Amino acid sequence: MLDNEKIAGFIGKKILRLISLLVIVCFVSFMLIQYSPIDPVRAYIGEMPVSAEHKAKLEEYWGVNTPPQEKFLNWAGDALKGNFGISLIYRIPVTDVIKERFTASLALMAASWLFSGILGFILGIVAGMKKGTWIDKAIKTYCYVLAATPTFWLALILLMVFSVYLGWFPIGLSVPIGVTAENVTFLDWFLRLILPALTLSLLGVAQIALFTREKLIEVLSSDYVLFAKARGEKGLDLVLRHGIRNVALPAITLQFLGFSELFGGTVLVEQVFSYPGIGQAAVAAGLRSDVPLLLGIVIVSACFVFFGNAIADLIYQFVDPRIKQQEASI
């Protein structure tokens, strides 16, 4: 089949691109860290007093005096074998830290991604349909206010209102303090997921809603909608038949392209809610000079954003019949 061949080609090209991207990202981040005033020995021993002799031993162990290119190649060689080293903060392999943290974040990001996508799309459709009315103005104002709101600020407000004053939700973390892992229920975890997810969603709504609104207005003033009206179609039926059909694809694409903002938002939100996800780990790794963990997270986040963009491309090239056709005729 032609289609299968095309998809294989597409995936092949994407993988090549991902590899070259990762090489560059790794190299640049490695060098940035190399030339930053980070002392791995100090990071390891913390405030413990050590003798000069002991320190020299540690320096040799951590390879402080090895030339940077050699260090990079050593690290890259190990990384290729799947060994990203041991996290200095957590004292367990980086892969284990990332696995655990990323799963926690994934739940948070998936929930807010879905929620903001659906809510934003619906708000955008309503605003576009009712263009110029008070509903439209209200939705637009809401979106502009949200688009101008810093993430951490909104997170703090929600935390103050819902956790502190109203006491509806726990204040932070992903599990209750002082409860053993076996005794943590799904509800415990779920209740702690709601506020961070809500913060992220509310912010994500603005972009998708404004985009959907703009796009729907464009579609509704198109020739084909005019013709549909001339043929007796009207109201909600018309919007459902022609509006949603033409707006959905670009909106979904945009939502996938938003993976980078989603990740950035997660870092801030996790910090405020002390939610033990990848974002919080990234901040901790940065502040406490955990180089192996920081590099590991950089790679994972680059892959994550790349994955989102690749899906957006895939949708455009293989779902939209117009682009499908163009490709075939070239």
Partner 1 sequence: MGNMGNKTEINAKGKKETEALLKVEDLSLSFIQYASGLRQTELKVICNLSIEAYRGEILAVVGSSGSGKSLLAHAILGILPSNAKLDVKMEYNGKKLTQEIKEEIRGKEIALIPQATTYLDPLMRISNQVIGCVEEKNEGLMKKVQREVFQRYDLKPDVDRMFPHELSGGMTRRVLVSTAVMSSAKLIIADEPTPGLDEKTLNETLSYFKDMANKGCAVILITHDIEAALKISDKIAIFYAGTVLEVANVEDFKNNGENLRHPYTRALWNALPQNNFQAIKGHQPMQDEVIDGCIFYERCSKKNELCSKGIPQFKSINGGVVRCNNVS
Give the nearer residue to partner 1 in terms of CB position, either 14 or 130.
Answer: 130
Of 269, 252, 244, nearest in space to 319 by CA = 252
Give the nearer residue to partner 1 in terms of CB position, either 101 or 242.
Answer: 242
Site residues, partner 1 (CB under 8 A): 221-224, 226-234, 237-238, 241-242, 245-246, 249, 320-322, 325
Report the alpha-carbon distance of residue 234 to residue 230 in Å, rounded: 9
Residue 109 Cα distances to 139, 194, 296, angstroms? 24, 11, 19
Residue 83 Cα distances to 51, 75, 79, 195, 304, angstroms? 31, 9, 5, 35, 19
Instruction: Count CA atoms within 13 Å of residue 199 on its CB side.
Output: 30
Give the nearer residue to partner 1 in terms of CB position, either 243 or 279.
Answer: 243
**Min dist. Cβ of residue 311 to partner 1 (A):** 19
DSSP string, 121-142: HHHHHHHHHTTTSHHHHHHHHH
Give the nearer residue to partner 1 in terms of CB position, either 40 or 243.
Answer: 243
**Min dist. Cβ of residue 85 to partner 1 (A):** 50
3-state secondary structure of 204: helix
Asked if residues 318 and 7 have their Cβ atoms less than 8 Å apart, the reply is yes
**Min dist. Cβ of residue 328 to partner 1 (A):** 10
**Min dist. Cβ of residue 244 to partner 1 (A):** 10
Report the alpha-carbon distance of residue 73 to residue 51 in Å, rounded: 31
**Min dist. Cβ of residue 145 to partner 1 (A):** 27
Give the nearer residue to partner 1 in terms of CB position, either 65 or 329.
Answer: 329
Give the nearer residue to partner 1 in terms of CB position, either 39 or 237.
Answer: 237
Token duo for residue 124: 């955008």
**Min dist. Cβ of residue 134 to partner 1 (A):** 17
